[in-house]
Amino acid sequence: MATLNPYLNFPDAKAREAMEFYASVLGGELNVMTFGDMGTEGPMATQVMHGQLETPSGFTLMGADAPPEMVQVTFGDNVSVSISGGHDEADQLRGWFAALSEGGEVGQALEAAPWGDEFGMFKDRFGISWLFNIAGAPS
């Protein structure tokens, strides 16, 4: 089943602090991947590329640092809508990506990502930022 998740962008390298706070309040398991985990070196290496909190209540909260050279965070666009699903839902997810991005601005085409899934992102014609992730085929 596909899921719809809020995705929060944090300026000033505050993602880890914020996500740990949310975990302390909401409970659950927090998983964090840094830019360094994906090969980035230097000051950005310790910043959060992707944080994901799975709560006991059954919802998922995601977040990341938003280095100014990558993302300008202003009120209104510090939240993205994230849709993710399994390999068995790939055709439906690709269709949603194509339809929702029509008339908008694709920032990254839906394609193979370094972590083994398909990933893409766009801002729709209404100015809403969307992230799509399709899990890789099971091995």
The pLDDT value recorded for residue 78 is 65
- As a whole number of angstroms, the distance between CA 43 and CA 93 comes to 35
Contacts of 8 (CB under 8 A, 6+ apart): 15, 18, 61, 62, 63, 64, 78, 79
Q: Is residue 13 part of a domain?
A: yes
Residue 19: which of 54, 43, 45 has the closest Cα?
54
What is the reported pLDDT for 9?
86
Based on the structure, what is the number of domains in the chain?
1
139 domain residue, yes or no: no
Q: Is residue 60 part of a domain?
A: yes
pLDDT exceeds 70 at position 94 = yes
Would you state the pLDDT for residue 99? 92
* Residues paired with residue 133 on neighbouring β-strands, in sequence order: 84, 119
**Greatest distance between any 2 Cα atoms in the chain:** 41
Show the domain range for 123.
3-134
pLDDT of 123 over the 70 cut: yes
Q: Please check whether residue 59 lies inside any domain of the structure.
A: yes
**Which pLDDT band holds residue 76 (cuts at 50, 70, 90)?**
low
Using one digit for the tens of pLDDT, what is the confidence trace for 23-39?
998 899 999 999 999 99
| 69 within domain boundaries | yes
Percent of the chain at pLDDT above 90? 60
Residue 93 inside a domain? The answer is: yes
Cα 100 to Cα 85: distance, rounded to the nearest angstrom? 16
Residue 115, domain member (yes or no): yes
What is the CATH number for 18?
3.10.180.10
Indicate the average pLDDT of the chain.
Answer: 89
Average pLDDT for 88-105 = 93
Q: Look at residue 90 and tell me if it is in a domain.
A: yes
